[in-house]
């Protein structure tokens, strides 16, 4: 309860802290990774975001023309890292929640990726690895992992705490 003494004490910030003893709400950043088929790149990015973000990120992936299955090479590549990508399904953009995402990451699908509402947009321009030999596929997988790590550590730090 606030009792007025007839004079102001401290700064406006102190006054707000006294009047509103609730700390700022930590929101969980909502990210979506988009590619054409939602079978390789965006699935791998979603997996990395789940691995690296733990329960601190709400992550989705989708494709503009989903293939209907996750690429077996992607499943194998992520299994090497201890992640079971076989539990994922190839999804279309129409299956995403109707929200504004904190980050919309295009994996390199160019004109095939329609607009998705988001506060931050980036096109990572990652080549589709589906026809690459295993070693090149792993290099793409690892590049995606580095980019997801950077996204989570740098770019989303600014949006993870928002005032009530």
Mean pLDDT, consecutive 10-residue stretches, the chain (164 aa), reads 37 39 65 95 97 91 94 97 96 95 90 84 94 97 97 72 43
Q: Catalytic residues, which ones? A: 35, 109, 113
Are 101 and 28 in contact by the 8 Å Cβ rule? The answer is: no
Name the nearest CA neighbour of 72 among 106, 43, 32.
43
Give the domain ranges of the chain. 26-162
Alpha carbon of 20 to those of 7, 16, 163: distances in Å? 19, 6, 11
Cβ-based burial of 149 (10 A; exposed 0-12, middle 13-18, buried ≥19): middle
Q: Please report the pLDDT score of residue 3 as a whole number.
A: 38
Are 4 and 139 in contact by the 8 Å Cβ rule? The answer is: no
Fold of the 26-162 domain: Rossmann fold (3.40.50)
Q: Please report the pLDDT score of residue 28 as a whole number.
A: 85
Q: Please report the pLDDT score of residue 107 as a whole number.
A: 95
Q: Please report the pLDDT score of residue 27 as a whole number.
A: 77
């Amino acid at each position: 309860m606030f009792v007025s003494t007839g004079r102001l004490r401290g700064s406006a910030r102190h006054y707000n802290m006294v009047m509103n003893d609730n700390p700022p709400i930590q929101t969980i950043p909502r990210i979506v990774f988009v590619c054409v088929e939602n079978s390789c790149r965006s699935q791998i990015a979603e997996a990395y975001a789940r691995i690296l973000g733990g329960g601190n990120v709400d992550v989705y992936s989708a494709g503009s023309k989903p293939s209907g299955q996750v690429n077996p090479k992607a499943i194998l590549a992520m299994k090497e890292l201890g992640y079971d990508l076989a539990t994922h399904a190839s999804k279309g953009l129409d299956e995403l929640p109707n929200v504004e995402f904190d980050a919309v990451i295009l994996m390199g699908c160019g004109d095939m990726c329609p607009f998705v509402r988001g506060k931050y947009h980036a096109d990572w321009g990652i080549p589709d690895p589906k026809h690459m030999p295993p070693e090149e596929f792993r290099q793409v997988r690892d590049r995606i992992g580095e980019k997801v790590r950077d996204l989570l550590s740098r770019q989303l730090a600014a949006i993870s705490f928002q005032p009530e």
